[in-house]
Chain A
Amino acid sequence: MCTVCGCGDTVTADGKVMSHDEAHRLGLAHSHAPVFQPAAPALPFPHVQAKGLSPHHDDHHHYGTGPAGVSVPGMSQARLIEVETSILAKNDSIAVANRRVLKALGVLALNLVSSPGSGKTTLLCRTIEALGDAPLAVIEGDQQTSADADRIRATGARAIQINTGKGCHLDAQMVGHAIDDLRPRPGSYLFIENVGNLVCPAAFDLGEAAKVAILSVTEGEDKPLKYPDMFTAARLAILNKTDLAPHCDVDLDLYEANLARVNPTIEILRVSARTGEGMPAWLDWLRARLAEAQS
């Protein structure tokens, strides 16, 4: 039961059946069955209100394979249960809910993925400066320290740091919590800087509109071939630090050919966050995606 208004697991709001939490997050009026009047006005971002009540408000359980009411007490004979459930089903269902909330708010969420040291945070700082007054927020993922969030906040942008501890990737639940705390403004950008890792983050949907893979020119032209999953999952690849290319004998065309080999539809931009080369094309790409998010 929802601890904000007391309604059941699912409600009908705006003509759609959704979880009560989604209805609250979207600020939608929703009917309760059986008829139940909330004690307080329905508020978006229920996790904030529910803090301290339960670790995660138990709100994402209804997306998983919860109790189906077919308990067979006393049954002891060995039997086969067909499960046919993806191991990542829970993450994926939370990601779907995140995506629906972000879409309803017209927020463009981008999942920035790369190996450590590709220049994600510097690119992000330059991007925030270049976007000027555009509303935006940042979720920073790292194993430890708040160094990256501190760098982002120094630009004046709002940022939340998630430390994953031993974890090697952000998951949809972490991002859902962060979205609740950040409360991104409608029509804003939400940059999610994932843990520097070209392997695991490929498999974990966070609810983003697209993954952007950042690859610095010093990493080697064969990197897309070594880590194909990430570049297959990405919509855009940014070849960063192009100002260093003349100093390290790299073949930028070969980078692009290898990216196209693992993902024939990937878009590619050459950028130097340090010198600003290629930044206008990146900013145009961002604005086009934001317009899509609001359509």
Chain B
Amino acid sequence: MHEMSLAEGIRSIVLDQARAHGFARVNVLRLEIGRFAGVEKPALEFAFDVVMRGSPAEGARLEMIDLPGQALCYDCGKTVDLSDRLDPCPLCGGGKLIPQGGDEMRIKDMEVA
């Protein structure tokens, strides 16, 4: 959706971490991306390469870890795993579900030198 803004958010966190931990280079940066986060991975990879130029994360490898999407079903009251935002409840077939997770977009860790 707004992968450029997300890449800028990553850059800002990298710079903060570099100041805090005194490293000069990021080798690998791992992100956790929820299934409902709406992140286009190829677009984020492209934005990452462009936005990290001139930062410690320039040239870093970007790894993205998928997190499952969960939703609360308003018909059966259970929290269920969903692969698609608009899928029906796998338990009762109900159609009214509200996401309970899966919108995460966070930096998990960085391998630095």
A147 interfacial contact with B, CB 8 Å: no
| Closest B residue to A69 using CB positions | B20
Closest-CB distance, B1 to chain A (whole angstroms): 5
Closest-CB distance, A228 to chain B (whole angstroms): 5
Q: Mark B20-64, 1 if CB is under 8 A from A, else 0.
A: 111100010001000010100000000000000000000000000
A232 to B86, CA, bound (A): 12
Closest-CB distance, B58 to chain A (whole angstroms): 16
Report whether A70 and B109 are in contact in the complex, using a CB–CB cutoff of 8 Å.
no
Q: Main SS of chain B's interface residues?
A: mixed
- Given A229-B36, A261-B95 in contact, is the A75-B23 Cβ separation under 8 Å? yes
Report whether B96 and A84 are in contact in the complex, using a CB–CB cutoff of 8 Å.
no
Q: Main SS of chain A's interface residues?
A: loop
A residues less than 8 Å from B103 (CB atoms): 203, 229
A248 interfacial contact with B, CB 8 Å: no
B residues less than 8 Å from A75 (CB atoms): 22-23
- Given A66-B16, A70-B21, A75-B23 in contact, is the A86-B104 Cβ separation under 8 Å? yes
A42 interfacial contact with B, CB 8 Å: no
Among B64-113, those with CB < 8 Å from A are 74, 85-86, 95-99, 103-113
A residues less than 8 Å from B12 (CB atoms): 64, 90
- Given A68-B20, A75-B22, A78-B27 in contact, is the A199-B107 Cβ separation under 8 Å? no
A84 to B21, CA, bound (A): 15
Report whether A78 and B113 are in contact in the complex, using a CB–CB cutoff of 8 Å.
yes
| Closest A residue to B71 using CB positions | A232
Number of cross-chain contacts by CB at 8 Å: 122
Report whether A80 and B111 are in contact in the complex, using a CB–CB cutoff of 8 Å.
yes
Report whether B13 and A65 are in contact in the complex, using a CB–CB cutoff of 8 Å.
yes
| Closest A residue to B14 using CB positions | A83
Report whether A71 and B21 are in contact in the complex, using a CB–CB cutoff of 8 Å.
yes
CB < 8 Å: which of A68, A69, A90, A260 contacts B96? A260
A205 to B88, CA, bound (A): 28
Report whether A67 and B16 are in contact in the complex, using a CB–CB cutoff of 8 Å.
yes
Report whether B20 and A65 are in contact in the complex, using a CB–CB cutoff of 8 Å.
yes
Report whether A200 and B110 are in contact in the complex, using a CB–CB cutoff of 8 Å.
no
Among A167-190, those with CB < 8 Å from B are 167-169, 171
- Given A78-B27, A79-B112, A85-B106 in contact, is the A265-B20 Cβ separation under 8 Å? no
A-B contact pairs, 8 of them (CB 8 A): A70-B21, A75-B22, A80-B111, A83-B13, A87-B6, A87-B31, A168-B2, A264-B96
Sorted from nearest, which 8 A-B pairs have the closest CB atoms?
A200-B2, A71-B22, A87-B9, A264-B96, A264-B74, A83-B107, A68-B20, A86-B106
A-B contact sample (4 more), CB < 8 A, given A87-B13, A89-B106, A200-B2? A65-B20, A76-B113, A87-B106, A199-B38
